[in-house]
A and B are shown apart, each in its own frame.
Chain A
Amino acid sequence: MERLREKGAGNPLKCVQCGACTSACMVNLLEEGFNPRRIVGSIARFNRLPDQNPWVCSTCSLCTDRCPQGVDPFSIIMALRAVLYENGGNAPSRVLEMVEQVKETGFALPVSPESSSRRRLLRLPEARLSEEGLREVRRILSEEGFK
C-alpha cells in the first residue's frame, strides 16, 4: 500500500466496494476480467496486489468521476502499473517501444522519411532536439531507471 501511495495512488481505504467504478468502466463492459472494484478491493481489504492486468485500463478516468467516496481508482490503477513494472513485470511492448523512442529522439514516435519530406513540403520546422537537449533527456531517463 505504501509503495502505491508513493506513486500517487488515491485513497483505497475509503472504498466501500459499491461498484460505481466498475459499472462506469467501458472496458469492463467488453472484458469482464478487468474490474476496478476488485482491483481496489484487493489492495484495500487484503493489502495484496491484484492479479489483474492494469494495462487493460483505457485511462478514461470515468471510474474516478463516478466514485462517491473520493477513492480515485484511476490513480490506483496507474500506480499499480508502476509498482508491477518495478517488480519486474512486463509493460506492453507498444509502451516500451515509445520509451525507447523518447530515449532515442526525445519524442515517443519516430519521424518517418515520408513524414519528414511532407514536413519540408509544408515548410514546417525540422522535428528534432539539439544534441545537448537529447543528452539532457537521456540523462533524466537514465537516472530514473530507464537504462
Chain B
Amino acid sequence: MSLTLYLGCVIRAAHPEVEKAVKETLSRLSVSFEEPLEASCCAPSWFFSLSRQAWLRLNERNMRFFKNTVVTACDDCFASLSDAFRVLAGKKGFKPPEVRPFQALLLERLREVKPRLGFTGLRCAVQHSCHFLRPLGRGLDNPEDPRMVKSVLEALGFLPVAYEGELDCCGGLLSEEKVSGMMASRKAGSAEKAGADCIVTTCSHCMVRLRSVSRIPVLHLAQLSAFSLGSELGQIGFPESLARRTVKH
C-alpha cells in the first residue's frame, strides 16, 4: 500500500538533506509513498494557540490531499495533524486518515524486512520529542520510559546511551530565547558528557534547537537509517567525522 508522506515546513524549507534521508530510507525499505505537494503548513501549537479555528480549517484543507495513511517526518507535524483530525473526526461526513510518525513505520518495516546493514556502532543520545510522547493519550510509546526510537536505533545496529535529563524538553518551541537556550544547552551538554557520539531526534524543532548549541552532531533519525541502509553521505548530510567512528560490515 502506498503512503502519504508529509514533510512539514522546517524540513522542506531548511533541511533538504533530511528530506532526502527520509525518502532514501523509505525507498530502501520498499515503502512506496506519494507527496501531497498542495498541502500547506499544519499550523502546529504556535499557530493553534493564536487561532484554533485557523488551525482546524488549514488541516481540513490539508486532509483533501491525503489519500492514504499519512507518515510524518516531524513530531510537531505528527501532533498537529493527529490532534486536528481527532477534532475533525467528530464532524459529520469526515473520515480523517490515520497519522503515523516516521519512527513507528520505520520500526515496523525494519522488523519485517530485516535489511543488511552497512555500518553499526555509533553511541546515540535520543532526544525524545515532547509532542510525540505527550499528552499521555497518544499511546504510541511510554512517556516515562520511551523505547520506540531506541528500538529503531538498536535494529539499525546503533547503541542508544542514557543521559541525565533524557526526558526533559529541549525548549525548541519556546519563544523566550534565554530559557530556551538554557534548556537546550543542558540537554546537549549532558548527552556529550554521557559519551554520546551524536544526538538523534525525530522532531525538526528539537533538531534545530539542539544544533544551535550542541558540540556533537545532532541528526534526524532518518539520516542514521539512510546511512545504515547504504545511502551516500553527502546526499543525506551525514557527517564524515561520524561515519569514521562506525564499524563497516
The answer to whether residues A78 and B135 also contact, given A56-B174, A59-B130, A125-B35 and a CB cut-off of 8 A, is: no
A56 and B179 alpha carbons, distance in the complex (Å): 8
Selected interface stretch from A11-19, A24-32, A40-48: A24-32
* Residues of chain B at interface, number, CB under 8 A: 48
Bound-state CA distance A61–B45 (Å) is 11
> What CA separation (Å) do A58 and B135 show in the bound complex?
14
Cα–Cα, bound, A119→B41 (Å): 19
22 contacts between A and B (CB under 8 A): A27-B183, A58-B171, A59-B130, A59-B173, A82-B50, A94-B175, A98-B46, A99-B47, A99-B50, A102-B43, A108-B9, A111-B14, A119-B19, A124-B20, A127-B12, A130-B38, A137-B58, A140-B54, A140-B58, A144-B51, A144-B54, A145-B51
Chain A-chain B contacts (Cβ-Cβ < 8 Å), number = 150
Min CB gap B181→A, angstroms: 10
- Of A54, A133, A137, chain B has the most CB atoms within 10 Å of the CB of A137
A62 & B169 in contact (Cβ 8 Å cutoff): yes
**Residue contact B168 to A118, C-beta cutoff 8 Å:** no
Residues of A participating in the B interface, judged by any CB pair closer than 8 Å: 7-8, 26-27, 30-31, 53-62, 64-65, 72, 74, 78-79, 81-82, 85, 91-92, 94-95, 98-99, 102, 106-112, 115, 118-119, 122, 124-125, 127, 129-130, 133, 136-137, 140-141, 144-146
